[in-house]
A = this chain, B = another copy of it.
């Protein structure tokens, strides 16, 4: 079923000479199928088709695009168990996770379809004309939003479905009216091809223009670079590392016409344990965080990598409970040997810094498995050593033992931008939180109260983003319906005849309600 080729519009092409295989980290062997990287002509063809498709796709009705998204969901469902099978072989993630992520992916596609069917998602705004205004008449002005153009989507390694080929970036861009070219993630190119085939099947069934979607295999950076440099690409969605996201951001900004890069990058997601909450519930929170840190082998962008508390016996109790619990959890496979290797290196670098105490015992984990690791360091050491501020992607967390609240605040003030920050606090100490919340919210996209940052609900109020380097653009979310706003821009129509206005501007919305 996996051909290893690229979906270029409605063709399946594989004329390139660079091939690669995906890897099964549990079996510790390469998968049997061979993938062919898209060559320069194929990338060019995908872009030409996308540009041409944009001319008609941007004019499809909201209902037509809703049907397209719903049909994609059905076609992905029709891939059946084989998709789950390939997913697990290419990621090492368990079947339950694969099924859950498929459900999320289908849910996202359907949520954007529902948005198209129901709402004033384009933010239509109407100012009526006032012809007899003095000294000058007021023109009638009506504003809506239109799609930017073809979008390049870079799939994430850690979500082969929900942040990849038909993930949130693709679903929101297609909803907006933008053709999509996916640069498939090389670690799950098989899953990528299967999902791409479902999108292509849906596009054909819904009579969408050829080129509304293409899927390009890649093993290095060339495919992405050619895509982002192409003048017909008008925006980029990316989920991955800081290095990768920043490189694309820089590349896009050196174009003659710069384009927006919405890159969701790393985060250490600080958690702040307040004294009274620890006094009451140190064991509960220790055990809860053992689960959050190891969820998905720690391979979530919202993984809690930094736990801040004030030195106390209760913080010790928290650590003990965390360690005892986390050591009962069997290590699980990481996505790929390269990710496991990087995890080991980053962990090693942090663990060997001055003053860093290793709390977890070493386990003899299987090849490619991510051995969970908790370290502890003093607030003073943390403040002094920037090497301790880096993300360690995997089931790792660092407990920072602060001298007092002032030191804790200084640490928060020194943090870079984050996707999330979490506060664990008892009601009796809520009144003391103002300074901490003030500083935390300047640095994060979402604050969680008495919970864990892992688990990102798909809903209108979700903001999955944050100040740089959590993302390259703090004003947009990559999860939830507002993700569509990345791919559209406003346009005003002044004194336009109603017949020529876009549908959503023909009638008056009640502005007082907006």
Q: Which of A's residues lie within 8 Å of B, judged by CB?
A: 55, 59, 125-127, 136, 138-139, 141-143, 146, 148-149, 249-250, 253, 257-258, 260, 416-417, 427, 430, 433, 437-438, 441-442, 444-451, 455, 457, 459-463, 465, 467-469, 472-475, 477, 482, 485, 488-497, 499-500, 510-511, 513-514
- A476, chain B: closest CB distance, angstroms: 8
Which B residues are CB-close (under 8 A) to A459?
127, 138, 141
How many angstroms from the CA of A499 to the CA of B136 in the assembled complex?
48
Q: Which of A437, A438, A492 has the most CB of B within 10 A?
A: A492
Can you name 8 extra interface pairs (CB under 8 A) apart from A139-B457, A451-B494, A463-B491? A139-B451, A260-B473, A260-B475, A441-B491, A449-B493, A450-B495, A461-B492, A467-B489
How many angstroms from the CA of A141 to the CA of B457 in the assembled complex?
9
Closest to A416 in B: B257
Closest to A497 in B: B430
Q: Are A253 and B249 in contact (CB under 8 A)?
A: yes
Q: Which of A142, A491, A513 has the most CB of B within 10 A?
A: A491
29 contacts between A and B (CB under 8 A): A55-B438, A125-B460, A127-B459, A127-B461, A138-B457, A139-B448, A141-B461, A141-B462, A143-B460, A146-B441, A149-B442, A249-B253, A249-B258, A253-B253, A257-B416, A257-B467, A257-B469, A433-B500, A444-B491, A445-B490, A448-B495, A449-B494, A450-B495, A460-B511, A462-B492, A465-B489, A477-B490, A513-B513, A514-B514
- A267, chain B: closest CB distance, angstroms: 14
Which B residues are CB-close (under 8 A) to A489?
445, 465, 467, 474-475
Q: Are B125 and A427 in contact (CB under 8 A)?
A: no
Which B residues are CB-close (under 8 A) to A55?
438
Which B residues are CB-close (under 8 A) to A138?
457, 459
Closest to A148 in B: B474
Closest to A59 in B: B438
How many angstroms from the CA of A472 to the CA of B249 in the assembled complex?
14
Q: How many copies does the complex hold?
A: 2
Closest to A460 in B: B125
Q: Are B469 and A500 in contact (CB under 8 A)?
A: no
Contact pick for A514, options B444, B467, B513, CB 8 Å: B513
How many angstroms from the CA of A136 to the CA of B451 in the assembled complex?
13
Q: Are A468 and B257 in contact (CB under 8 A)?
A: yes
- With A139-B457, A143-B461, A143-B463 given, is the CB distance from A491 to B257 under 8 Å? no
Which B residues are CB-close (under 8 A) to A499?
430
Q: Are A445 and B492 in contact (CB under 8 A)?
A: yes
Which B residues are CB-close (under 8 A) to A257?
416-417, 467-469
Q: Are B125 and A461 in contact (CB under 8 A)?
A: yes
- A56, chain B: closest CB distance, angstroms: 10
- With A469-B257, A490-B475, A495-B449 given, is the CB distance from A461 to B142 under 8 Å? yes
Q: Are B492 and A463 in contact (CB under 8 A)?
A: yes
Which B residues are CB-close (under 8 A) to A511?
460
Closest to A141 in B: B461
Which B residues are CB-close (under 8 A) to A450?
495
Which B residues are CB-close (under 8 A) to A430?
497, 499-500
Which B residues are CB-close (under 8 A) to A449?
493-497, 500
Contact pick for A465, options B125, B468, B482, B490, CB 8 Å: B490
Closest 4 CB pairs of A and B: A513-B513, A127-B461, A463-B492, A446-B492
Which B residues are CB-close (under 8 A) to A438?
55, 59
Which B residues are CB-close (under 8 A) to A258?
249, 468, 472
Which B residues are CB-close (under 8 A) to A126?
461
- A444, chain B: closest CB distance, angstroms: 7
Q: Which of A148, A260, A461, A489 has the most CB of B within 10 A?
A: A461
- With A125-B461, A513-B513 given, is the CB distance from A491 to B445 under 8 Å? yes
- A497, chain B: closest CB distance, angstroms: 6
Which B residues are CB-close (under 8 A) to A253?
249-250, 253
How many angstroms from the CA of A482 to the CA of B59 in the assembled complex?
26
- A508, chain B: closest CB distance, angstroms: 12
- A172, chain B: closest CB distance, angstroms: 14
How many angstroms from the CA of A169 to the CA of B486 in the assembled complex?
22
- A483, chain B: closest CB distance, angstroms: 11
- A474, chain B: closest CB distance, angstroms: 4
